[in-house]
Amino acid sequence: MTRRPAPAVHLGLLVALVVTFLAASAAPTPLYATYAAAWHIGPLGVTVAFGVYAVAVLVALLVLGRLSDHLGRRPVLVAGTVGQILAVVLLATADGYDALLVARVVQGLATGAAVGALGAAMLDVDRGRGALTNSVATGAGTATGALASGLVVQYLPAPTHTIYVAVLALLVLELVGLLLVPETAPRTPGARARAAGSLRPDVRMPAAVRGPLLGTAPVVFAVWALAGLYGALGPAVLHALTDSSSVLLGGLALATLAGVAAVAGALLRDVAPHRVMLVSVGAVALGVLTTLVAVSTGSTVGFFAGTAVAGLGFGAGFQGAVRTVVPKARPEERAGVLSVLYIVAYLGMGVPAVVAGALVGRVGDLTTVVRDYGVVVLALVGVALVALLRSRPRAAAPSELIAPPSEGVAPLPVEAVEPVSLGGR
């Protein structure tokens, strides 16, 4: 019989998995310049390597996103971790551009298969802290991967291998931990048949979730489009601003954005989700404008200042969306709901980034493409603001506060709709 660990230990393992998965996905970012020089890859090739990962995540989310709601969390997480281990091995041994693309596809499939189950398992273990950890760990993992990869590549031997060996060691340890912890969502009778049915791509949402999801989706798309800008073009922009080929510098843009996002998620934990998302759209708009001015004037300090402000918007937007949408889902719906949020996120991150890479290759002017990308992000922020204002929560009438729940629908616990707090993500 599997011994049940303390909730804090179990939650810590899940957070570590999220951080490691996203660190692994961000680890190649500082290496793109190295790969480009060695394999003669142009700007389009770099953004395609970035974009195929996002596309693979989307495919996995569409096909496998709801699987853990039926089979249980642990089998899906074990399979996803094994897939991530395979992807890291492929990255460490890649000897050409085609091998890099294959590795990124495998990595995207593994991440997409696991991310919904990871988020749902956090909520299973601790409903209060789970919503917060879902949003904070995302930024922490991305920042850790980009910064650690830059440091390793800059200062340690065998730069295209060492970072992957470190990530591989962490994944193996976490896989052992997964095998030792109990299932948080045991399968129910008929689970196998329902699981087979869940493999058909389906993004329909429970009725209680549809309204909040429609209201928050534009925010999620906008802030992840911002992340796509920094992930795909951030290193090139910094190299152009500083006239430096430092690999560490190439990872700092994404690390700054994601690191500030993680801190923002923790600091804003007690603010109402709708207000958090309003903070998000304002911060993204200010951050993007500051960054565009910095790129136009050649200011490195201004670039990082704008990145930090935009990072506040990135963290606030995703955290607010998770806290608005996910608590309204039943336990058996959580993985599917989280997967839809991530589908919106990776669409926002992948599609604009690949288009921008194609434009850099065609236009030949990085500054012009970054400016146009920033304008698109600002337009998306405008759409998000309109959606937020239209979905503003209204105060419940006295009669609604005492009315019984609709027949056949269990009422949500009180903690499901209150702002969560971090007791100790």
Q: What is the pLDDT along the chain (425 residues), one digit of tens a residue?
A: 455 667 778 888 888 898 899 888 888 877 877 888 889 887 778 778 877 888 888 888 877 767 777 778 888 899 999 999 999 999 999 999 999 999 999 999 999 888 878 877 887 777 667 666 766 777 787 788 778 878 887 888 887 888 899 999 999 999 999 998 888 776 654 445 444 444 555 555 677 787 888 888 888 898 888 888 887 777 778 888 888 777 777 778 888 888 898 888 788 878 888 899 999 999 999 999 999 999 989 899 999 999 999 999 988 888 888 888 877 877 777 777 777 888 888 888 877 777 776 777 676 677 888 888 888 889 989 989 988 888 776 544 443 333 333 333 333 333 333 333 323 33
Residues 218-231 as b/e (b if ≥16 CB within 10 A, e otherwise) read bbbbbbbbbbbbbb
Is residue 1 assigned to a domain?
Answer: no
Answer whether residue 298 is part of any domain.
yes
- Give me the CATH number covering residue 131: 1.20.1250.20
pLDDT, position 425 = 34
pTM for the predicted model, two decimal places = 0.72
Quote the CA–CA distance of 326 and 160 in Å, as a whole number.
38
Residue type, 235: P
Asked, for residue 279, whether it belongs to a domain, the answer is yes
Q: Does residue 195 belong to any structural domain of this protein?
A: no
Domain range spanning residue 263?
Answer: 7-182+208-393
pLDDT given at position 417 = 30
Domain count, the chain: 1
With H, G, I as helix, E, B as strand and everything else as coil, classify residue 396: coil
94: in domain: yes
4: CB partners within 8 A, 6+ apart: 10, 181, 182
Does any domain span residue 356? yes
Q: Is residue 366 a part of any domain in this protein?
A: yes
The DSSP line for 294-334 is: HHHHT-HHHHHHHHHHHHHHHHHHHHHHHHHHGGGS-GGGH
Q: What is the pLDDT of residue 99?
A: 94
Report if residue 192 sits inside a domain.
no
Q: What is the pLDDT of residue 371?
A: 86
**DSSP string covering 226-244:** HHHHHHHHHHHHHHHHHT-
Q: How far apart are CA 38 and CA 97, in angstroms?
A: 9
